[in-house]
Structure 1
Amino acid sequence: MDSHQNAPGSRIAGGDAGKSSRVISNLQVLRALAASSVVVAHAMHETASLSDAAGRVPIDGATWNLGFGVDIFFVLSGFIMTHTAAAEFGKGGAPLRFFLRRCARVVPLYWLLTSVLLLGAAIAPSLLNVPIGDASHVLASYFFIPSGRGIDEIRPVLALGWTLNYEMLFYVFFGLALILPIRLGIFWLSVLMVSLALIGNVVSPQQVQLAFWTSPIILEFLFGVYVALIFRSGLRIGIWPALGMMAIGLLGFVRFSAIWEDDVLPQFLRSGLPAALFVLAAAIGPALPSGRIVVWGIALGDASYSLYLSHPFILRPLRAIWEKFVGDQLPLGLFVACGAITTAIFALALCRFVEKPLTAFVQGFTRRLGRPKAAGAARAPGADTESA
């Protein structure tokens, strides 16, 4: 919510190159779709403020579940972790290597943008919807610990980081599962996560961290784990079955009033299962045909972590500019389109010139920490894999 991101953006590389190369373009385009849906949802939210100033009817997004992108990110995360780390199950030092790689991938950009937000709050606090919390809340935000913000809201300083609080929890559990052989590790990972979800559903804990971490939404990561196992089994389908699964998955983007409330169907079912179908179809279906749209989709998928975390920094100033210089002269739908395009361009630049160099620098440091002491020790397959 990385997720994150997603669940939040990542790249897939390394591992079993033969298996990964067939699916990489599909998943990257899916990442772009997921991140873009979150951007559009937030851009539509900004039009609520613009509508008053422009004297126009706000865009009604009640029919669409554009936050569905977060569910896709969570399933993708479970898939990618399992597929790329499959060869490390049961190996000495695997949990530490895995967790250091994940921190090197997720932490740098998140800490950087959190710090930028804190600086901005000090300079222009009026731009924030919710004031920055106290020092303990700020510290908890940096270390992915759920903490209350405002009234009945458990979000970090950089609000979108709520998804990363779930991501880090999953990384800890997955890292522990790497101690065991893959079948046993996946079994106990499943038992642990299902047990936590049951605790959250049956006990309804009041303590902030426990209430957050026992949400059944964590089962969406587990869906991704099992999608990865299906993919690694060698099962493949043709274009029409894949399109059929995608069509069912698209239902996750639509709100059905009869089943949409949590007391009828919880999120991990109403959104998590369609997201799992999306990822499964992308993984075992045929590769997308080459073309300019697909190339741009892959590029945006590569930058999806930057897009997910940075888009509020663009949408809020863009709203202020639009309100001052455009007003009621153009339809609000055009603001959403401009916001989506502007944030995508910014994310591509941020990924290339900030995220990738910063991540590479930190990865070099963490690799030295996690490297076996024995001289000439071979690096495990997937050691350079990046995902979120």
Structure 2
Amino acid sequence: MTRHPSAPGGDTVVLVQVLRGLAAALVLLGHTQEQLRAAALKAGLAEPARLAWPGGFGVDLFFCISGFIMVLTSARLAGQPGAAGEFLVRRAIRLVPLYWLATGLYLLVLALGTRGLPAQPLTALWTSLAFLPYPVDGLRGGMAYPLLSLGWSLNYEVLFYLLFASLLALPMHRLVAGVWALLLALVAAGAWLQPEATAPAFWTRPIVLEFGLGMLLGQAWHAGWRLPGWAALGLGIAALAGLLADPLGLLQAAAGTSTANDARRLLGWGLPAAALLLALTGYERGQRERVARWPLAGLVRLGDWSYALYLFHPFALLALTRLWLSAGEAHRPGLPLLGLLMLAGSVLLAALVHARLDRPLTRLLNRRWRERRPPLAPAAHARHPLT
């Protein structure tokens, strides 16, 4: 059997990596459904049936996972001189290059396509590259989207990284409490002041508390909290049941609209995301040897590809839609086959981007950074597949 590096002493939390892959897959499935609808309408076909699929829930999973991972990977870095700069450089190396490449590619697609560039292309470009909320195409559902619309979630990630780094001089338990205080202050300020400016309105939404939930679970992992199998299974089932029951109506949004990043989303999607993460990490904490032997290699690999899949799947969807429309009515495959091709093409593209761009570029930049600055602590520079 394949043994994953999650045995005692290993760096990877296998089930978190699996959950990352599943989160990216949820987003892909949601966008594939919307792209099939757009393709059908352009071809003059009847609009396909729309499933109430929680594709956006994948982002809430990502936010909880991000909080968890930052606590795990920064445990020995916290409290050291120069920790904030080290942390931010590491996060920039991981986050920025691939996003800038994807944004540049999308700008090229806009320039060559029929849609054309946005009204203020330079402003749209620099705010997107700087992770600053800016309504490139106007507010959609009260949300400001960058050039590559998926980047809205990365704007929240960067906010979290800055808050986290600002308190890295503290021990980890105080850092977690401090970041929670800052997140709560942001949300309280948003509720009280109701800011109309784009950036303050964006940064003060309740969805930011999902990073805090993940941080608490990271602390629980460090403390050795464990869940027996029956408790983990029950918690996971309860989380999924609550998600699909949709008591707050998050799945009832009209096609093509966005889910607001408000308290309803935090309760309806953020809490189930945290519960799933707790179920998986709580179980693995006590059963690392067993989990390490599970046949999860494919799902772990999908987790490795998750960032590339998240950023680049729109290009596969757009390219396949264009090919399908240009084939002519007599030669087009049916929508179900087109959907399968979209899923397969997106995963294949993500694998190629990860292998040929993401991983080599990240290794190169990390090596260059190590050459310029000695490591602060062994754990700060250990390769961690979750980062």
The reply on whether 1:349 has 2:352 as its aligned counterpart is yes
2: distance between equivalents of 1:257 and 1:331? 34
Residues 247 and 268 of structure 2 are in contact (CA less than 8 Å); yes or no, is this contact kept in structure 1?
A: no
1: distance between equivalents of 2:386 and 2:147? 23
The reply on whether 1:28 has 2:10 as its aligned counterpart is no
Residue identity (%): 32
Structure 2 residue corresponding to 1:110, chosen from 99, 108, 132: 99
1: distance between equivalents of 2:314 and 2:249? 30
- Residue equivalent to 1:192: 182
Aligned to 2:150, the other structure's residue is in SS state helix
- Residue equivalent to 2:31: 42
1: distance between equivalents of 2:218 and 2:161? 16
- Residue equivalent to 1:7: none
The reply on whether 1:135 has 2:122 as its aligned counterpart is yes
1:203-250 CA deviation, whole Å, 9 max, x = no partner?
A: 211111111111111100000000111111111122221121211222
2: distance between equivalents of 1:297 and 1:271? 22
Deviation of 1:190 after TM superposition, in Å, equals: 1.0
Residue correspondence of structure 1 range 1-388 to structure 2 within 5 A: 18=8, 20-21=10-11, 24-52=13-41, 53=43, 55-61=45-51, 63-126=52-115, 131=118, 133-153=120-140, 154-251=144-241, 253-254=243-244, 256=246, 258-260=248-250, 266-286=264-284, 288=291, 290=293, 294-325=296-327, 327=329, 330-369=333-372, 371-372=373-374, 379-384=377-382, 385=384, 387=386
Residues 197 and 216 of structure 1 are in contact (CA less than 8 Å); yes or no, is this contact kept in structure 2?
A: yes
Deviation of 1:257 after TM superposition, in Å, equals: 5.6
Structure 1 residues 285 and 275: alpha-carbon distance in aligned structure 2, compared to 1, 3 A threshold: same
- Residue equivalent to 1:9: none
Deviation of 1:107 after TM superposition, in Å, equals: 0.6
Q: Which runs of 5+ in 1 are unaligned?
A: 1-11
TM, length-normalised to structure 2:
0.86
Higher relative contact order (CA 8 A, sep 6+): 1
1: distance between equivalents of 2:131 and 2:207? 17
Regions of 4+ moved over 6 Å:
261-264
1:247-278 CA deviation, whole Å, 9 max, x = no partner?
A: 12224653626554869952111110000011
CA RMSD of aligned residues (A): 2.6
Residues 64 and 255 of structure 1 are in contact (CA less than 8 Å); yes or no, is this contact kept in structure 2?
A: no
One-letter identity of the residue aligned with 1:102? R
Residues 23 and 57 of structure 2 are in contact (CA less than 8 Å); yes or no, is this contact kept in structure 1?
A: yes
2: distance between equivalents of 1:239 and 1:342? 36
Structure 1 residues 304 and 199: alpha-carbon distance in aligned structure 2, compared to 1, 3 A threshold: same
Deviation of 1:68 after TM superposition, in Å, equals: 0.3
2: distance between equivalents of 1:179 and 1:136? 35
1: distance between equivalents of 2:315 and 2:274? 30
Aligned to 1:382, the other structure's residue is in SS state helix
Residues 74 and 379 of structure 2 are in contact (CA less than 8 Å); yes or no, is this contact kept in structure 1?
A: yes
Structure 1 residues 327 and 257: alpha-carbon distance in aligned structure 2, compared to 1, 3 A threshold: farther
Aligned to 1:279, the other structure's residue is in SS state helix
Residues 37 and 66 of structure 1 are in contact (CA less than 8 Å); yes or no, is this contact kept in structure 2?
A: yes
- Residue equivalent to 2:255: none
Q: How many matched pairs?
A: 365
2: distance between equivalents of 1:386 and 1:199? 36
Residues 80 and 376 of structure 2 are in contact (CA less than 8 Å); yes or no, is this contact kept in structure 1?
A: no
